[in-house]
């Protein structure tokens, strides 16, 4: 089992190219990020080539201050498509495997229609994976996409082969529980798996969800891609990485 360092949370004190190098030195097999747009793509691409790490994904922009994505906001279709196009261009420049299209704060049928429209635009514009991710209502109150069932219905409605579910064990446990059964049932729809301790979003070595068990289930499902370590270290990242040496890793 291998892991991807989410550099939106890990090594935040470093410039993104140096964070990629730190992830390589720490033994991660891949990296992913949130919003890399202030860093020239050529610098990120150079660090990826230097380390040999793949970039698994990045997010569309959140929007204006206080927003958390644009794609499900009625009346913001032009802005949402522009954010998707920007993310896809950056993904092309760094060869990122996927783009997470962020829905934003919205609700109702008009919001769903807007989200579906934007996702169809995104999926038609690339062969890369397009990801959608349910977020919990503690960290992101009012976010449009809340549950795996809602995501499953939207994926069916869009009906594009490259639209996939980002299954974040942290968010799913807080909203729905029953993480391992949901992983097994939703496996055909899943494009990426992330994790953090529940409920504090720290390293996966404590909390109400046993990752020794969850990772074993994921491994037993035949999942071969790196799992995304999207947790918030309390202080420097390096002292929080002891979990990588536990029995559920390959090393």
DSSP 39-67: S-HHHHHHHHHHHT--B-EEEPP--STT-
* Distance from C-alpha of 146 to C-alpha of 137, rounded to nearest angstrom: 7
pLDDT tens digit sequence for 54-73: 999 999 999 999 999 999 99
Q: Which one is catalytic: 50, 86, 112, 133?
A: 133
How sure is the predictor about 46, in pLDDT bands with cuts at 50, 70 and 90? very high
Q: Which one is catalytic: 32, 50, 152, 230?
A: 230
Q: What tokens does 165 get?
A: 């579910």
pTM of the predicted model as reported, rounded to 2 decimal places: 0.96
Query: Is residue 230 among the annotated active site residues?
Result: yes
Mean pLDDT score, 214-236: 96
Q: Is residue 32 within 8 Å of residue 58, measured between CB atoms?
A: yes
Supply the mean pLDDT for the chain: 96
Q: Please tell me the class of the 3-245 domain.
A: alpha beta
Q: What tokens does 184 get?
A: 């097994």
pLDDT at 246: 78
Query: Is residue 112 among the annotated active site residues?
Result: no
For residue 37, the SS3 value is coil
Domain boundaries, the chain: 3-245
Q: Is residue 164 within 8 Å of residue 192, measured between CB atoms?
A: yes
């Amino acid at each position: 089992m291998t892991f991807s360092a989410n550099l939106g949370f890990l090594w935040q004190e470093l410039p993104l190219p140096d964070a990629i190098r730190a992830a390589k030195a720490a033994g991660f097999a891949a990296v992913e990020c949130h919003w890399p747009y202030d860093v020239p793509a050529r610098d990120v691409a150079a660090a990826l080539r230097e380390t040999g790490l793949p970039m698994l994904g990045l997010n569309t922009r959140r929007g204006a201050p206080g927003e958390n994505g644009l794609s499900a906001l009625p009346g913001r279709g032009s802005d949402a498509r522009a954010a998707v196009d920007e993310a896809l261009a950056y993904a092309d420049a760094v060869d990122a495997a996927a783009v997470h299209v962020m829905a934003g704060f919205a609700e109702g049928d008009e919001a769903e229609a807007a989200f579906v429209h934007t996702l169809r635009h995104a999926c038609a514009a690339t062969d890369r994976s397009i990801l959608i991710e349910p977020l919990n209502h503690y960290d992101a109150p009012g976010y449009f996409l809340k549950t795996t069932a809602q995501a499953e219905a939207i994926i069916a409605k869009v009906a594009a082969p490259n639209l996939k579910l980002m299954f974040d064990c942290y968010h799913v446990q807080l909203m729905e529980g029953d993480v391992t059964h949901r992983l097994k049932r939703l496996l055909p729809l899943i494009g990426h798996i992330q994790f953090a301790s529940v409920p504090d979003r720290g390293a996966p070595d404590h909390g109400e969800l046993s990752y020794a068990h969850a990772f074993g289930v994921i491994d037993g499902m035949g999942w071969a891609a790196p799992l995304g370590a999207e947790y918030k270290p309390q202080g420097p990242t390096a002292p929080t990485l002891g979990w990588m040496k536990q029995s559920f890793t390959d090393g």
